[in-house]
Homo-oligomer: A and B are copies of this chain.
């Protein structure tokens, strides 16, 4: 039987501790406070930011969504980012992606001070990911951090294991590969130019799909042993408009040891880790 690895299970074990840590900090007089800059009204972005707000408020933190008009100029956006990120009462800040076309050239992750970069996208935070020299006070990128936490929760061994990551984005593939390397896994990053992908996934102990192609990975990519672990980071819509991942989960059943379903697998870990990063940032700023 294939095990379903879910954020729900992770949260049922770990959320009470996170809630307690928020409560402790609030009792000391610091309410972890996040500001999210939302430019325009992209429907998916509106839902994402709302979910983040709800999650953080549920923990006792504060979260403001700063709605800026779709037509805002680059100069005005930068002023807004600067004002928000320089306020001492705000511990974490990020700009919800994607930005409108006329602003899409901006690498906004670099405009937030590293100490408040709860997304973990700033060069300085990614440097720690690269060195492998990080601890619980480091702001690690949320989705990669969530994947590692989820696998560890389910006692999936990482050291000495062969990991194939499909996708080389800055949000998932590349930082995740470095986190796995820090865990002593042997990582191969695959992408659109990779040859013989099936040979590579068949030889892996853990396969991570993070390419944004609906149902891309199916049972043909697995070996016969049935002991592989499949991590699905994709969030797509299939041809019928139904939410689905990068993995054709149905075809995988009983052909792998464990799999993260979409929805409910990796997805909610991103918000969880964002909330954790906000706590870390608030604590770091307090202890400075």
Give chain A's interface residues, CB within 8 Å of chain B.
110, 123-124, 126-127, 130-131, 159-162, 168, 170, 174, 177-178, 181, 184, 186-191, 193-195, 200
Copies held by the complex: 2
- Residue of B126, B160, B162, B181 touching A168 (CB-CB under 8 A): B181
Query: Known interface pairs A159-B193, A195-B160. Does A170 touch B126 (Cβ–Cβ under 8 Å)?
Result: no
Taken together as a complex, chains A and B put the C-alpha atoms of A168 and B180 apart, in Å, by 12
Q: Are B174 and A130 in touch, CB under 8 angstroms?
A: yes
Taken together as a complex, chains A and B put the C-alpha atoms of A174 and B159 apart, in Å, by 18
Taken together as a complex, chains A and B put the C-alpha atoms of A34 and B83 apart, in Å, by 38
Of the A-B pairs whose beta carbons lie under 8 Å apart in the complex, a sample of 14, sorted by A's number, is A123-B123, A126-B130, A130-B170, A160-B194, A161-B195, A168-B181, A177-B189, A184-B191, A184-B193, A186-B191, A186-B195, A186-B200, A187-B188, A188-B188
Taken together as a complex, chains A and B put the C-alpha atoms of A178 and B200 apart, in Å, by 19
* Interface hub of A126, A127, A177, A181 (most chain B Cβ within 10 A): A127
- Residue of B130, B161, B195 touching A162 (CB-CB under 8 A): B195
Taken together as a complex, chains A and B put the C-alpha atoms of A160 and B196 apart, in Å, by 10
